Amino acid sequence: MELENENINFNLKKPEDYTNKLDELNGGVNLLLDEFKKIYVLAKMHPNNEDIQSRYQDMISNINHMQAKLFSISNDIQVNINNINQKMLELDRLITVERDKNKELRKKLGMVEHKNISSLEMINDYKKVYDIKYLRNWGLFLSTIICIFTISVVFKKPAV
């Protein structure tokens, strides 16, 4: 059945967009960390050098800027997940409504609920018959072996 009055649009960002952004950040972070290692060592070795200290502060601000971008991407992903959850709940509600309509229409058509089509019922019956005969054959086989064993014990020739 089609949804008549309801129109649900999934205008969501693609995962590739987030992957591309993360790849760009990852490449920038690796370069930034390599540079930061060098500047950090120099800043700790020469705490009075103004030029090195300003470069050190610039590196720290760049790292903070990268962290802010990463947080922004993470936040966008979480918003997108929340939107998907809302859409899924709406779809679930619509499916439930359509399922109820389907039940009503089946009742109007005279179909009986919880009844299978006759061919499926016959297949299930054959399976049950097969299972019963299979178990019966095993029972006969085991009881025959037990009877043979019992007869051999009872009519055993006495030792002289």
Q: What is the pLDDT of residues 94-139, one digit of tens each?
A: 999 999 998 888 777 765 555 556 666 677 778 888 899 999 999 9
Side chain identity at residue 57, one-letter code:
Q
Whether the Cβ atoms of residue 25 and residue 70 lie closer than 8 Å to each other: yes
Residue-wise pLDDT for 37-93, tens only, equals 999 999 999 989 999 999 999 999 999 999 999 999 999 999 999 998 999 999 999
**Environment class of residue 8 by beta-carbon count within 10 Å: exposed (0-12), middle (13-18) or buried (19+)?**
exposed
Query: Cβ distance 83 to 12 under 8 Å?
Result: yes
Q: Is the dihedral of CA 78, 80, 81, 83 positive or negative?
A: positive
The CA radius of gyration of the chain, in Å to the nearest whole number, is 38
